[in-house]
Amino acid sequence: MAIEPRKPPSLLLPRLQRALGGRTGWSGFVLQLLFVAALAWICYEIVANARANLQAQRITAGFGFLANTAGFDVSQNLIPYSGSDSYTRVFLVGLLNTLLVSVIGIFFATLIGFIVALSRLSPNWLLSRIAGGYVELIRNLPLLFQILFWYLAVLAALPNPRQSISIFDSFFLSNRGLVIPKPIGTPGFEPFVVALLVAIVAAIALSRYARQQLFQSGKVIKVWPYVLGLVIGLPLISALIFGAPVSFEVPALKGFNFAGGARVIPEFVALVLALSTYTAAFIAEIVRAGILSVHKGQMEAGSSLGLQRGSVLRLVVIPQAMRVILPPLTNQYLNLTKNSSLAVAIGYPDLVSVFAGTTLSQTGQAIEIIGITMGVYLLISLVTSAIMSFYGWRISRSMG
Amino acid sequence: MKRVSLVVTLALAAGLSAQAASAQTLKTVKDRGMLSCGVSQGLPGFSSPDDKGNWTGLDVDICRAIAAAIFNDASKIKFVPLSAKDRFTALQSGEIDVLSRNTTWTLSRDTSLGANFTGVTYYDGQGFMVKKALKVNSALELNSASVCVQQGTTTEQNLADYFKGNNMKYEVIAFGTNDETVKAYESGRCDVFTTDVSGLYADRLKLANPADHVVLPEVISKEPLGPMVRHGDDQWFDIVKWTLYGMITAEELGITQKNVDELAKSDKPEMKRVFGTDGNLGEQLGLTKDWVSRIVKSVGNYGESFERNVGTGSKLGIARGINNLWSKGGIQYAPPIR
């Protein structure tokens, strides 16, 4: 008797039932459908009512304002901007300022966080207690208070521009920020960059080759002198042939402030300091938890292979700890980005300050502007999450 | 600040969707038993709380006068302190019934914000304050200066126009609230603090050594300050508008807090119209016949309020100047009550 191959049961129906909250049959489906319909109706009512009432009160609505002239200036702009540019440009200026402070804040927060975590786990009693004290002090004080502390208590105590602290007469530190010589590209700039890129690519190829050799034949090739020679030598040769790649515009005191040079404004410094030290305290605890989650035997196994403590941490423990560290670390990165909106308290021109602040007040279009701003923060957070997930995926893949 | 504007915006979205554009502000206020009045977060002379939490100032008196006209009780008010950038959203959302917060009347604010200005309570202009030690005598010497300003104000835009128009460079640092702005100026972050001239005098009082700071002579803009109400309620618009005109008319006729009861018995036709002993002008507004005497009894006439809050009788000591009556060399003028 031939046995009929049994058909695999259709997965669609049970899946649908599960999605509908476990109820079987049509009653569940109908309930869910009603719920979704009610939700859609409420959303529609909110939008339609808001629109009708905006019209009734003759409040301007829509996104036409984005093309209008902004008419106000901003203290820090990464792209050229003046008061005669549009609100769209203001939006971009604010967004870039937010991204700048977030990226730099995340970099320093991670760096400080790892250092503090490793210090706290160090066998050195004093070091571990100092690290512990740092974590407990910083994470238990409100962030806004810390921002104001750096801004009003530390940076505002710097001297005024006329009595600024000068280093080699080219770097000036005052309560207007740090003024540094500004590099200006000369004709030798392009060949210099090309030479540097070539040198870096060659150095990477060389290191890979050395690594391959190590794994295949066990030969240890001392690669760093060549790398150093390449990275320094090639650009140097380019500079000798084509001339120096940059010249420096040295700042000088002129009137109330320094003219020329590039400037790091104190609002930016205060914000980066506060955000990175504050977030670092949380990251330190996350990293410590991650490292402690790796079995002690791993450390001992590494040591018995003859590796030093630093190498054990770097090659054995931290890669395994990363799986535990990564999800809460992502949370901290997202927190830092969102916390950067506290900038408005110290006059740093971030997205919330110039767009959801000044632009909103000038145009009065609260719904559109708050909507855009929320959307942007959501997008930044989702992109950050995606990058971190990708990194996590790579780690778990490489560890099999 | 972010949280405030977010909450206000959500309230705006909810408010706009929940209730139809209410054309019944007077009824809402009466039902609530209280006027909700948007004021500043503390600008001496215009709206600031004293150490007991009582609000005083020229802008506050407008609200007190409205409350007096409606309830015959100038204390039935809830004051809502607002930053410059949150004020219009609070008005649009219905959180406040009237915005009386040293707000400059401009065309765009009168149209696109969905609100109307009801009149001018104070004719102001923008000026600059610097430390005396800088030895600056004119705003035209401010090239390359750092300027502290409160964001979301006409001041911020005038500043950009003025420096651009005079081919001067400057650095602007914009703060969310007036207090933060003044603090940054005092800490030395900026060379210059700019706002309306009346505000400069008021804020100078808050500094550690007011005598070390000087207000420069240039006035770079017109800043007519006045109360605002939402579009779509003409009756409420009239009430707020005529409250101010009632105060100005009282000054024109010499009606003061002291002699109001006496003059109310007057037989002069003009007085009878104003006090409602003849005709029903107050009722046409939606108020009572004795609305003017209610106002004057509680806050005095316009001149009295001015002198008490910002004039020579106050700490600010600002001269009446163009804010005097039209008949005394100023430009304050009320249409006739008839």
Q: How many CB atoms lie within 10 A of CB B94?
A: 21
Q: Are residues B213 and B287 in the same domain?
A: no
Find which of A324-328, A394-398, B7-11 is predicted with most confidence, using mean pLDDT: A324-328
Q: Determine whether the interchain pair B184/A347 forms a contact, defined as Cβ–Cβ distance below 8 Å.
A: yes
A260 pLDDT tier (thresholds 50, 70, 90): confident
Does residue B41 lie in a domain region? yes
Q: Which residues from chain A sit within 8 angstroms of residue B231, using beta carbons? A: 57-59
Q: Are residues B269 and B257 in the same domain?
A: yes
Q: Are residues B252 and B313 in the same domain?
A: yes
Domain boundary among B221, B244, B273: B221
Distance of alpha carbon A370 from alpha carbon B13, whole angstroms? 11
Nearest by CB to B151, from A175, A353, A366: name it: A353
- The residues, any chain, with a CB within 8 Å of residue B103's CB and separated by 6 or more, are B87, B109, B117, B225, B226, B227, B228
Q: Determine whether the interchain pair B5/A57 forms a contact, defined as Cβ–Cβ distance below 8 Å.
A: no
Find which of A24-28, A165-169, B38-42 is predicted with most confidence, using mean pLDDT: B38-42
Query: B184 to chain A: nearest residue by CA?
Result: A152
**Residue B17: pLDDT above 50?**
no
Nearest by CB to B112, from A73, A152, A364: name it: A364
pLDDT of residue B58: 96
Q: Which residues from chain A sit within 8 angstroms of residue B8, using beta carbons? A: 366
**Residue A142: pLDDT above 90?**
yes
Q: Determine whether the interchain pair A345/B232 forms a contact, defined as Cβ–Cβ distance below 8 Å.
A: no
Q: Which of A269-273, A321-325, B287-291 has the lowest mean pLDDT?
A: A321-325
CA–chain centroid gap for B231, Å, is 19
pLDDT of residue B19: 46
Q: Which residues from chain B sit within 8 angstroms of residue A341, using beta carbons? A: 2
Q: How many CB atoms lie within 10 A of CB A31?
A: 13
Q: Which of A214-223, B132-141, B201-210 has the lowest mean pLDDT?
A: A214-223
Instruction: Output the average pLDDT for chain B.
Output: 90
Domain ranges for chain A, please list them.
Answer: 87-156+269-398
CB-based contact, B189 to chain A, within 8 Å: yes
Domain boundary among B221, B247, B282: B221
**Residue B15: pLDDT above 60?**
no
Output the domain CATH number for residue B42. 3.40.190.10
Is the pTM value of this prediction over 0.90? no
B162 pLDDT tier (thresholds 50, 70, 90): very high
Nearest by CB to B144, from A257, A267, A360: name it: A257
pLDDT of residue B7: 54
A214 compared with A100, residue with greater pLDDT: A100
Q: Span A188-195, mean pLDDT? A: 83
Q: Which of residues 128-157 of B touch A (CB under 8 A)?
A: 134, 142-146, 148, 151-153, 156-157
Please answer whether residues A89 and A81 qualify as being in contact, where contact means their C-beta atoms are separated by less than 8 angstroms: yes
CB-based contact, B290 to chain A, within 8 Å: no
CB-based contact, B233 to chain A, within 8 Å: no
Does the domain at residues A87-156+269-398 carry the CATH identifier 3.40.50.300? no
pLDDT of residue A214: 82
Distance of alpha carbon B18 from alpha carbon B29, whole angstroms? 18
Q: Are residues B140 and B281 in the same domain?
A: no
Q: Span A228-236, mean pLDDT? A: 83
- Structural domain boundaries enclosing B79: 2-123+225-328
Q: Determine whether the interchain pair A60/B164 forms a contact, defined as Cβ–Cβ distance below 8 Å.
A: no
Q: Span A26-49, mean pLDDT? A: 88
- The residues, any chain, with a CB within 8 Å of residue A31's CB and separated by 6 or more, are A20, A23
Q: Are residues B18 and B131 in the same domain?
A: no
What ranges in B23-147 are assigned the alpha helix state H? 25-32, 58-71, 87-92, 107-111
**Residue B105: pLDDT above 50?**
yes
Complex prediction ipTM = 0.79
CB-based contact, B323 to chain A, within 8 Å: no
Q: Determine whether the interchain pair B173/A267 forms a contact, defined as Cβ–Cβ distance below 8 Å.
A: yes
**Residue A6: pLDDT above 80?**
no
Does residue B337 lie in a domain region? no
**Residue A5: pLDDT above 70?**
no
B215 pLDDT tier (thresholds 50, 70, 90): very high
Query: A159 to chain B: nearest residue by CA?
Result: B188
A228 compared with A117, residue with greater pLDDT: A117
Domain boundary among B176, B206, B221: B221
Q: Span A258-270, mean pLDDT? A: 87
Q: Span A154-180, mean pLDDT? A: 84
pLDDT of residue B70: 96
**Residue A218: pLDDT above 80?**
no
**Residue B264: pLDDT above 50?**
yes
**Residue B323: pLDDT above 50?**
yes
**Residue A251: pLDDT above 60?**
yes
Distance of alpha carbon A143 from alpha carbon A149, whole angstroms? 10
Nearest by CB to A49, from B16, B143, B181: name it: B16
pLDDT of residue A335: 94
CB-based contact, B164 to chain A, within 8 Å: yes
| Tokens (6 digits) for B205 | 């009082």
How are beta strands B192-196 and B145-150 bridged, if at all? parallel
Residue with tokens 């929940």: B18
DSSP-derived 3-state class of residue B40:
coil
Structural domain tally of chain B? 2
